[in-house]
Amino acid sequence: MAKITLDNLAHSYFPNPRSEDDFALKELNHVWTDGEAYALLGSSGCGKSTLLNIISGLLTPSQGRILFDDLDVTGASTADRNIAQVFQFPVVYDTMTVRDNLAFPLKNRGASAQYIASRVQQIGEMIGMEAELDKRARGLTADAKQKISLGRGMVREDVNALLFDEPLTVIDPHMKWELRTQLKSLHHEFGHTMIYVTHDQTEALTFADKVVVMYDGRVVQIGTPEELFEKPEHTFVGYFIGSPGMNVIPATVEGNTAVVHGATVKIGQAFGSLNGKVEIGVRPEFAKLTDGEGLPVKVRRVEDVGRHKIVRADLFGNDINIVASESEVISSDMNRVTFDPARVNVYVNDWLQEGEAA
């Protein structure tokens, strides 16, 4: 296992990139701590696979270095990096049995027959295919083949890191949960450095110790699920994490007061003069619908989602979402919203600002 350092890394698929827009991966410095489970989260096309393939050695970056512990592996092959990678779609040997597919990476590295037999049995059970070990891969469903790919990725205990690129895309929903749980327990058991790519926030938040959020070729925040929820560093993290996501409202800010369409909102921190596009961000969980003081809203509808209610409303012509408790009665004279001042974040040009204690 290894600590993985990305040093000044960037990648463009163009031979002569002219501007930042030409880079699928913008400049990045990051250390992946040895033994930690990470999720790499972002929407389609934001550069997740590009980054993963650079770490595994399938792709050579146009700029920067990759170190495994203190060894520069930027030019090393995937095999030399000693990494297991599982892709979105199955990669299996059709003519081989499930057992031989699983055994392949171990045979390749010269493991003993006895060890191979017991390890393959164990992995077969983990992926729920112990009854099918002697079947040929050809003729199995895509779902079963993907489980074999996952098993092959997990079979070696001596890899430097395990990389997963949206591996559960073709797996049925029930088995998804099951396999994710297996991956987590595998992580607890062996403590591999794991990087799990997904565009699904639930998958990311349940799998990982730390979530790396990417947006438009850039890592915009690395944090625990709590940090991403409480202090989104970028408005994209606010939108993308949470359901519904954070409310982002254009405002002006002076001291510890924000002004939204002439109405004032108290904030828990004080700010000096801010230049650029200024917005406040408030999670629906920290907004409250009332019949008293507050900003004027027009309730459009109330959705009951079980644990709580989501109030969809209009605030000066923009959408705003408010979470109300399950037991709360929403009456027609509730046409104001208030925010918990300590939970109001301030953004300039989409980036979180740090103020002073007010």
**48 near ligand ADP (CB under 6 A):** yes
Count CA within 13 A, CB hemisphere, residue 282.
28
Q: Among residues 40 and 116, whose Cβ is nearest to Mg ion?
A: 40
Q: Is 24 in the site for ligand ADP (CB under 6 A)?
A: yes
50 lines the binding site for Mg ion (CB under 5 A): no
| 49 interacts with Mg ion by CB under 5 A | yes
Out of Mg ion, ligand ADP, none, what residue 46 binds, judged by CB under 5 to 8 A for its kind, is: ligand ADP
* 244 touches ligand ADP by CB under 6 A: no
The verdict on 351 binding ligand ADP (CB under 6 A) reads: no
Q: Which of ligand ADP, Mg ion, none binds 90 (CB below 5-8 Å, type-dependent)?
A: none
Partners of residue 321 on adjacent β-strands: 312
Residue 13 touches which of Mg ion, ligand ADP, none (Cβ within 5-8 Å per kind)? ligand ADP
CB of 4 to ligand ADP, least distance (A): 18
- Rounded to an integer, what distance in angstroms lies between the CA atom of residue 260 and that of residue 253? 9
How far, in Å, CA of 300 to CA of 26, rounded?
Answer: 41
CB pairs under 8 A, 24+ apart, for 16-23?
17/62, 23/217
Question: What minimum distance in Å lies between the beta carbon of 184 and ligand ADP?
Answer: 22
Q: Does 46 bind ligand ADP (CB under 6 A)?
A: yes
Query: Exactly one of 5, 49, 101, 182 binds ligand ADP (CB under 6 A); which one?
Result: 49
CA atoms 11, 14, 18, 24: torsion sign: negative
Is 66 a residue that touches ligand ADP (CB under 6 A)?
no
Cα–Cα distance measured from residue 341 to residue 58, given in angstroms and rounded to the nearest whole number = 48
Q: How many CA atoms lie within 13 A of 152 on its CB side?
A: 26
Q: Which is nearer to ligand ADP, 166 or 233 (CB)?
A: 166
44 binds ligand ADP (CB under 6 A): yes
62, 10 contact by CB (below 8 A): yes
Count interface residues toward ligand ADP (CB under 6 A). Answer: 10
Q: How far is CA 59 from the centre of its chain?
A: 21
DSSP code, position 22: G
Helix (H, G, I), strand (E, B) or coil at 56: helix
The Cα–Cα gap between 301 and 348 comes to 31
Taking CB under 6 A as the criterion, the residue among 6, 37, 38, 42 binding ligand ADP is 42
- Which span (42-50, 90-98, 175-183, 230-238) binds ligand ADP, by CB under 6 A? 42-50
For residue 131 the two structure tokens come to 């009854």
Q: Are 352 and 345 in contact (CB under 8 A)?
A: yes
Q: Shortest distance, CB of residue 59 to ligand ADP, whole angstroms?
A: 8
Binding site for Mg ion (CB under 5 A): 49
Binding site for ligand ADP (CB under 6 A): 13, 24, 42, 44-50
